[in-house]
Structure 1
Amino acid sequence: MISNIGYSIAAAGFLVLLLLLFTVRSSGLVKKLLLFAVFTNLLWALQYNRWLIPEPTVQQYLTFDSLKQFSWILFLSAALYNQFSSLPKILSQKTTLLAGSLPIAAVLILWLTPLPLHWIYLIHTVVALILLLLLEILLRQSGEQRWAFKPLMLYLGAVSVFDFVTYANATMVTYLDVNYIAAKGYIYALMTPFLLIAVRRMEHWGIKIFISREIVLHSTLLTVAGIYLFVMAMVGYVIKYLGGSWDTTIQIVLIALSVVLLIALFLSSNIRNKLKVFISKNFFANQFDYREQWIELTNALATGDDNLQDVYRTALKGLANAVKYDRGLLCKVNKSHYDIVANLYAPEPDHLHDEVIQLAIQYCQQKPWLIDLHEFLINPENYAGMDMDLKLVNQCEYQFILPIY
């Protein structure tokens, strides 16, 4: 039961990555090798799942493990020589012939000869070592591209080490320990995000995957919900294992609490916005989803009327929606003063806010930068030359001042 959850999560991760690879426009060999590797990993995770295959055999385990190992040997052999021009050239390399022949031999021996299984386990142990050796060679010769290869090293390194331990133990005791098999799904599930990051960094091979922040946000929320439900299930399992039992009242309270927390997590715009900012800052190279926001802004501007005031208001509304704000002012500067040409649910500037706007205009005439007043309070040195009192800014309700030319 517990092992099925791990393999299901791993299979879901491989399926998502497989679908993302299908969106890559490049049709080169590197894409095909990656598709083959990810597809074999997906099949491997599915056949370990007893919800789908109630009584899998050891032969099935070993066959799909061999297929998975062969796919990564093929990819790493091509990467070592940066040879993605033709498949026959990759297959004719000595590295591919020597390393790739072992998992193929394991399958043939398994199904065609009566050789004891511990010899098959030994072959898989050697293959895991070969994968680690190929990774070490690839890391040494990667040079300036080491940053792009590191996530791949982490993924294949971790799973290969676990495979080595699993099959080394099986070689000694002559059987596969079910505890290792149960844990393997969770190991792969935990390491799958590194494989996704690795594929995103393979731009030098023409692999460019666009992952929307909205997809990452919803995936993160679902992951958090899954972790929460998993923790609740583990608590129940531990209580049952220790000989205890759930009281009906406690069950109802915990279920109600779970539902409330999950609803709050999915419906709270504050939590979602903070999480989205955190994801954008830490997991994306660019800090703004320009493609999506540009489309939204273009659609908003297209709905405007011919009246000049409506055009101003439509433009202000489009900009505000792009940064998830519901209030704002659009001001037109005329030499020494400004006129408010559009107002989106914002109060008229009083003396304090008028002074802030005037000082911001003076600064923007010298440096046409976006002004984040919250950042100015924390790091005023980032706005050298802006003569604005911190006490004045602290009382101001504005956050962003954006010059438009």
Structure 2
Amino acid sequence: MDVASLTSIVVYSHALAAVCFALLLLPLRASRVASRAASRDASLRSIRIEPSHRFALGLACLFTLLWAVSLAWEASNGTLWSSLTDGFEILRNAGWSLFLLALLDNWRAPGSRLPFGLRPSLAIAALVYLGCLLANLMGHWDLALVREHSQAPAALRVAMAVWGMLLVEQVYRNRSVQERWAVKFACLGVGGLFAYDFYLYSHTMLFREVDPDIWAARGLVNALSVPLVAVALGRSRSWTSPLSLSRRAVFHSAALFGSATYLLAMGSAGYYLRFVGGSWGTVMQVAFLFGTLVLLVGTLFSGTFRAWLKVFISKHFYRYNYDYREEWMRFTRTLAQPGPGLGVRVIEAVAALVESPGGALWQRREGGENGGHYEPSAHWHMPALTASEPADSPFCQFLESSQWVVDLHEYSHSPDKYDALALPAWLADYPRAWLVVPLILHGSLSGFVLLHTPRSPVKLNWEIIDLLEIAGSQAAAHLAQQDAADALLVARQFESFNRMSTFVVHDLKNLVSQLSLMNANAARHKDNPEFQADMLETVSYSVQKMKLLLQKLGRGASGEQSAPLAIDKVVRQALALKDAFEPHPQLRVEAPGLTVLAERERLERVLGHLIQNAIEATPRSGSVTIRVAQHDGGVLVEIADTGEGMSEEFIRERLFKPFESTKSAGMGIGVFESREYIHELGGRLEVASRPGQGTTFRVLLPLHQHAMQAAAGRAA
């Protein structure tokens, strides 16, 4: 095709586009008149177009009209493009982007200090378009530069086309099925404009020159989009339907747009390396592109980057920081997952709200003189914790009375904001500690969650604090529900145990009947050798049967009252019953005469059970050591063995559960009863164990003298 024919096609093609967009401006003018009339006549309000939509669409059509006229004029003078046509093209792209943002209802932010109430993100986009206009005025936008080894003009045009297509995708995706009926033709028309630009300028970058045939058909393509936009204009009364833009969609679209821009820039840099690298050019290009691809994949899979992008999008694109529907569904799904480990799931669900990488959970345990204490029950991506906190400590009292989320970083800089707060000493061992979230249930503190410093900086405000407080209450309700379910399960198991005793009594009755019958016949057959042998066999069987039944039922309630007991004597008495077993336990009394307030029989049984477990878990060549000492103003009984040991999972999930036993003849109640009675005395039972390295049980009980002094102080 000769130059004259091509120029003629460009003129007619873009002139047709100018006429079509001029005709499209007429119904916009009519709709403006109709909207004024609708304000006076309610019967006409159904044809009213939203002012922001009408303004943005009219501006886009006007800029496209000027762009088409300028291109037709330049082509009639023998030039395909000039700085004037390039400037109108930038304005055309900006106009259609503004129209798409108006359909998204996402171009104004309430309370924004920028002109016209613009969002910061839109203001940045406007600055980018202004920068492109400035580059055009300075001569850096000319497509002729592509032949001179400068891909920037074509690359920026490709980026504009990608931005436009992403906006079209967002408009269509975030509409309901009914709303898509109103906007689908507008999306097709505007999307076609940007898609053709993407094809044109991608071809230009690839072949380093503008294809004249593709350029000539551009005006005709723009003209064909007018009927589509006109059909959408006829359905414009549905454009004003309420719209909620999904944060997930924006997140993925932003990641996609950033990845496309990054790859485009890196591809251009790789091409430059190939051009200037000489004989090493191809090698340098391949190595560079592979490295940039690895960097991109690593960045996209980085938790810190994803957290930063979510915070950035929430801060600059939305009025609120959270999509509450998405957050609450995720929070509820995390807590409602089946299986054990609810404590870990609570930490994970709360931490995800503020992009925290880990944390720990403390829950309240009743017992003792101070009304209980809070002990660590779970940890997630954080070392296991052992520090407990008394329920009557200033720290717990502050959390319960104020129900505040405590920012430890803010407290370190401005402690006056928490005037009644006194941090526990053990918090100093965790330099990454950031937030303390109270778990409030029915106005009382049921526990608290300690969170790590987030991956991306998060500035706490009223919205985040309110969300954490509500999430804490929801988590407390789930934990309380689990505790109630566990208690009900234990009650049912004990009920089953009591029901089992009915069958045991039935067996005893059968044994008594057999013995009674034998006793009745003894007077007549006592001299019969066969009767004597049968009698001995029956008595022996009955004795063995009753011994077995007594072992199962030997856990009757005791009516004994609590009394001051010397703990070393109780331990010695418990050891005296274990003389027949090996290895023989070794006793070390470092502080004799320590007194506790307890029931002798129950305390002796508890300690005896722990000692028996240590003996049974240790081979004859091993050792079992019992140490009695004073610890933190109380009594410590430490039972250490060198036996098989236990895993952390077994200790957490099975050790203290009733009716869970690894022994063939065990009922799994011993350790459960031991812990419950120790808690009843106001103490606690700690376990440290490793598979193959042995186990250490630490029984911590309050001193009787301390208890008496505390009681006297309360009475005074």
Contact 1:70–1:100, Cα closer than 8 Å, also in 2:
no
Q: In the alignment, which residue of structure 2 is the partner of 1:329?
A: 361
- Residue 395 in 1 paired to residue 424 in 2? no
Other-structure match for 1:274: 308
Letter in 2 for 1:146: F
Deviations along 1:337-390, one digit per CA (max 9) or x if unpaired, are: 434484145555445x7489955423222321222324433554554543338x
Query: How far has the Cα of 1:329 moved from its partner?
Result: 0.9
Alignment of 1:340-355 (within 5 A): 340=375, 342-345=377-380, 347=383, 349-351=385-387, 354=389
Aligned to 1:185: 157
**1:316/1:344 contact within 8 Å kept:** yes
Tell me the equivalent position of 1:231.
265
5 Å matches for 1:234-313?
234-239=268-273, 244=278, 246-304=280-338
Q: Percent identity?
A: 20
Distance, in Å, in 1 between the alignment partners of 2:405 and 2:395 is: 10
- SS of residue in 2 equivalent to 1:285: coil
Q: Which amino acid letter does the alignment assign opposite residue 331 of structure 1?
A: Q
**Partners of 2:429 and 2:63 in 1: CA distance:** 71
State how far apart, in whole Å, the 1-side matches of 2:294 and 2:372 are. 52
Residues 1:159 and 1:195: Cα distance change in structure 2 (over 3 Å) = farther
Q: Distance in 2 between matches of 1:77 and 1:187?
A: 35
Distance 1:342 1:70, change over 3 A: farther
**Structure 1, unpaired ranges of 5+:** 1-55, 136-141, 170-176
Match of 1:215 among 233, 249, 252: 249
Q: By how many angstroms is 1:295 displaced?
A: 0.9
- AA of the residue aligned to 1:261: L
Matched residues in 1 for 2:20 and 2:438: separation? 58
Q: Aligned pair in 2 of structure 1 residues 234, 80: CA closer, same or farther (>3 Å)? A: farther
Q: Is the 8 A contact 2:121 2:317 kept in 1?
A: no
Alignment correspondent of 1:40: none
Which structure has the larger Rg over C-alpha atoms?
2
For structure 1, which segment, 78-87 or 321-330, has the greater mean C-alpha deviation from structure 2 after superposition?
A: 78-87
Q: Taking structure 1 as reference, are residues 101 and 399 closer, same or farther at Cα in structure 2, changes over 3 Å only?
A: closer
- Between the aligned partners of 2:411 and 2:15, the Cα distance in structure 1 is 61
Deviation (angstroms), 1:401? 1.7
Larger RCO of the pair (alpha carbons < 8 Å, separation 6+)? 1
Flag the 1:247–1:64 CA change in 2: closer, same or farther, 3 A.
Answer: same
Instruction: Compute the RMSD of aligned alpha carbons.
Output: 6.1
When residues 337 and 58 of structure 1 are mapped into structure 2, their CA distance, relative to the original with a 3 A threshold, is: farther
Distance in structure 2 (CA, Å) of the matches to 1:195 and 1:263: 24
- SS of the residue corresponding to residue 208 of structure 1 reads coil
Measure, in 2, the Cα distance between the counterparts of 1:281 and 1:143: 14
CA gap 1:218/1:162 in 2 versus in 1, 3 angstroms: closer
Equivalent residues of 1:331, 1:342 under 8 A apart: yes
Are the equivalent residues in 2 in contact too, given 1:152–1:195 (CA < 8 A)? no
User: What is the rounded CA distance, in whole Å, between the counterparts of 1:260 and 1:371 in structure 2?
Assistant: 40
How has the CA–CA distance of structure 1 residues 339 and 178 changed in structure 2, closer, same or farther, with 3 Å as cutoff?
A: closer
Question: Which protein is richer in helix relative to its size?
Answer: 1
Tell me how far 1:156 sits from its aligned partner. Answer: 8.0
**Correspondences of 1:25-64 after superposition (within 5 Å):** 57=10, 59-61=12-14, 63-64=16-17
User: Normalization by structure 1: what TM-score?
Assistant: 0.52
Inter-CA distance 371–82: structure 2 relative to 1 (3 Å threshold): farther
Alpha-carbon distance in 2 for matches of 1:359, 1:77: 71
CA–CA separation in structure 1 for the residues paired with 2:20 and 2:392: 66
Query: Which has the larger share of strand?
Result: 2
Partner of 1:376: 411
Answer yes or no: is the 8 Å Cα contact 1:155–1:194 preserved in 2: no
Q: Deviations over 1:177-233 (max 9, x none)?
A: 75599588357459759979x989xxx955423222x43333333334333322222
Structure 1 stretch displaced more, 70-79 or 253-262: 70-79
Indicate conservation of the 8 Å contact 1:313/1:343, yes or no: yes
Contact 1:316/1:342 (<8 A) preserved: no
Does structure 1 conserve the Cα–Cα contact (< 8 Å) formed by 2:15 and 2:68? yes
Question: Could you tell me how far apart the structure 1 residues matched to 2:23 and 2:428 are?
Answer: 62
**Shift of residue 152 of structure 1?**
7.0
Secondary structure class of the residue paired with 2:289: helix
The secondary structure found in structure 2 opposite 1:401 is: strand
**Is the Cα–Cα contact under 8 Å of residues 356 and 392 in structure 1 kept in the other structure?**
no
Structure 1 residues 398 and 101, CA, compared in 2 at 3 Å: closer, same or farther? closer
**Corresponding residue number in structure 2 for 1:147:** 117
Pairs aligned (count)? 317
